[in-house]
Structures are given as structure tokens and as C-alpha cells.
Amino acid sequence: MISNLRQLVRYRGLIQSLVARELKARYRGSVLGFFWSFINPLLLLLIYSFVFTYVLQNRSEGVQPYAVFLFCGLLPWTWFAASLTEAAGALISGGNLIKKVLFPAEILPLVSVLANMVHFFLGLPILVAFLVIYRHPPDALDLVWFPVVVFVQLLFTAGLALALSALAVHFRDIRDILANILTFWFFATPIIYPMEMAPSLGRRMLNLNPFTHLAVSYQEILFYPGAFGHWKWLLALGVASVGLFLAGYWVFDRLRDSFAEEV
């Protein structure tokens, strides 16, 4: 395991170039190019806020301006969901590489996660713009926690991505199942509604969902006034994510030798 991680460090140049390639290639040929990284989340946000402020009138007092609240959870979710979807197909679509070139295959799912993280970062200016437009400045002290949340989410997502990508090679059904699980997961996470709106039983259930703590952390740091009170949960999730990452890596390593034959 240690030597695997060391090898990853050695291949950081390749990871870097592949992430850059992923980003460049994604928008190659489109007129707006890189602007899509801004426009996509913006449009998504507009649709959600339209639906939830005008169509389904949203009465909670605590989540105004709603657009900003929504964005705090939606942006990290997009990173998470897109990473897993892409990672699940990463080894299969990179099959030609795995069969023909000798390099650590875990790079492929990790690149999916990292490329989507860059998209996440590119979406942040829009969030900042909204915070400025609505005059809703976050607490400066809370912002210190922001990198911590991002890092915990990175570990959590990477762990899942490794395991899923490896298993998807053998169980192709995973890709289809995943799409449905993600939809369910999205609504089971306090992103479009605040945690407080859930009844107490529901709240207990929500606490079992790891992404709840990521979403709530983002919301508390960027949206809710007052000190960041969710840090215990976040740190606990951080520890669990390290475990999850190692477990995901173990699964990946376990199946590694079969990739070249099965993809």
C-alpha cells in the first residue's frame, strides 16, 4: 500500500498532465470553451432556484437568499456525482491504455476526481459573485475550515471512485445502478432543503449519510452566520474518509491484475 502511494507521487507529473488534458479536451471544439465550466453550474443554479423560489414556493425563513444556500450544497455535489460517474467508466474507456501501456491504473479514476475538482474550483467564483450580489458575506474565521472540507471530500470521493472503477470492470451493471443511487442520494442529502426542515426521525437518518456532513459543513462555512459548529462531525468524517480511501485502494489493488484481461 505504502509503495503504491509512493508510486502515485512519482507519477504526479502524469496525473497533472492527464487532468490538464481532460479539461482541455472537454471543451475543445466548443465555441464558448472554458466558459462552460462557469455557465454549466450557473444554469443549473438558475433552474433550481427558479423551481424552488417561484414554482414550489419555499417558506423557510432561515435559507434566504435561497439561491446562495442552494449553491453551497449543489456545487460540491456536482463534483462528487460527476467524479463517481466518470470514475466508474474510467478503466473501461481507458482499456486500450491499460492493455498496451505499463502504468499504474489507479491514475485513471483519480484523474476523473481531480478534473472534476478543478471544475468545482472554477464554479467558486460564481458562488463568490452571488455572495457579493446578495450582500451575504461569510464569516471570515469560518473560511479557514473551507480547505479542510474540500480535502475531506477529496479523500471520500477518491476512495469511492477507486473501488467503483475497479468493480465496474467486472460488474458492468454498476454504472447503471450508480446513476440511480446518485439521484436518490441527492435527495437524501440536505442540499435543496435545509437540515432543520427535516423531522427529527429524518434528521437522524440524514446524519447517517456521510454527504450530509459535507453539505452542512459547506453551508455553515459559506452561508449560515455564526461560528462553524459542525466541525466535530466533519473531523469524524475526515477520519472515516481516510479509512474509506485505504479500503477503496485495497479493493482496487486486489483486482488490479485482472484489468488488462477484462476491460
Partner 1 sequence: MNAIDVVDVTKVYRRYSARRQFATLKSALLSRSLIHDLRPEETFAALDGVSFSVAAGRTYGIIGRNGSGKSTALKLVAGITKPTSGRVHVEGRVSALIELGAGFHPEISGRENVFINGIMLGLSKREVAKRFDEIVEFAELENFIDAPVKTYSSGMYMRLGFAVAIHVDPSVLLVDEVLAVGDEGFTHKCLDKFAEFRRRGKTILIVTHSLGLVEKFCDEALWLDAGKVRLIGDPKRVVDTYLSDVAQSEEQVLAADDRRARAAAADPLRAPADATMAEGDLPANMFRATEGRWGSREVEITGVELVDADGQPGHVFQLGSPMAIRLTVRAAQPVSDFAFGVGIFNAEGVLCYGTNTHIEDLVSDRLAGEGRIEFHMDRLDLVEGTYKLDVAVHRSNGRPYDYHRQLYTFRVKSRVKDSGVFRPRHRWTFSPTVQFMRRGARRAAERVLAPEVAGALVARLRAEGRRRIVFTNGVFDLLHPGHVRYLEAARQQGDALVVGVNSDRSARANKGDGRPLTPETERAEILAALEWVDAVVVFDEDTPAEIVRRLQPDVLVKGADWPEDQIVGRDTVEARGGEVVRIPVEPGHSTSALLEKVRALS
Which residues contact partner 1 by CB under 8 A? 13-14, 17-18, 21, 24-25, 28-29, 96-103, 167, 169-172, 251, 254-255, 257-258, 260-262
Closer by beta carbon to partner 1, 114 or else 150 = 114
Minimum CB distance to partner 1, residue 28 (Å): 4
Closer by beta carbon to partner 1, 65 or else 104 = 104
Closer by beta carbon to partner 1, 204 or else 254 = 254
Q: Which residue type is seen at 256?
A: R
Closer by beta carbon to partner 1, 61 or else 257 = 257
8 A C-beta contact, residue 69 and residue 223: yes
Minimum CB distance to partner 1, residue 88 (Å): 15
In 3D space, the residue among 42, 248, 196 whose CA is nearest the CA of residue 130 turns out to be 42
Minimum CB distance to partner 1, residue 116 (Å): 17
By CB atoms closer than 10 A (0-12, 13-18, 19+), residue 136 is: middle
Minimum CB distance to partner 1, residue 184 (Å): 20
By CB atoms closer than 10 A (0-12, 13-18, 19+), residue 40 is: middle
Which whole-number Å values give the CA distances from 76 to 80, 96, 179, in the listed order? 6, 31, 17
Say which DSSP state 139 is in: P
